[in-house]
Amino acid sequence: SQTIHQWPATLVQPVGSPLSLECTVEGTSNPNLYWYRQAAGRGLQLLFYSVGIGQISSEVPQNLSASRPQDRQFILSSKKLLLSDSGFYLCAWSPGPLHEQYFGPGTRLTVT
């Protein structure tokens, strides 16, 4: 069966510091991968998605970036965090386009 991991689970970072969040998927190959952010009490905002290694599409222009160095690894990064970057970051995978998405446990980021 497939499993999706995210780490860290929680993170408190000062404004202006860098960020690296990691997501890995087990038990499948060539998944579509997604990064979402959910602000407190709000809906899901799609940040990035990837259909293959090195292929990243950005949905929202901001100070975040994503990379997919391996088939089942997806990384979300920032060089300098803003207060507005606080939120619940979720990684998801799907078997292909138009298919259901499965979410990881999430990383709760607080920028202070």
Partner 1 sequence: QKEVEQNSGPLSVPEGAIASLNCTYSDRGSQSFFWYRQYSGKSPELIMFIYSNGDKEDGRFTAQLNKASQYVSLLIRDSQPSDSATYLCAGYSSASKIIFGSGTRLSIRP
Which spans of this chain sit near partner 1 (rule: CB under 8 A)?
42-44, 46, 88, 90, 97-106
What residues contact 55, with CB distance under 8 A and at least 6 apart? 68
Residue with smaller CB distance to partner 1, 40 or 83:
40
Beta pairing, strands 44-52 & 19-26 = unpaired
- Measured from the CB atom, the residue of 7 and 17 that comes closer to partner 1 is 7
Q: How far is the CB of 36 from partner 1 (least distance, A)?
A: 8
What's the closest the beta carbon of residue 55 comes to partner 1, in angstroms?
Answer: 15
Strand boundaries in 30-86, DSSP class E: 32-38, 44-52, 55-58, 64-70, 73-78
Q: How far is the CB of 79 from partner 1 (least distance, A)?
A: 26
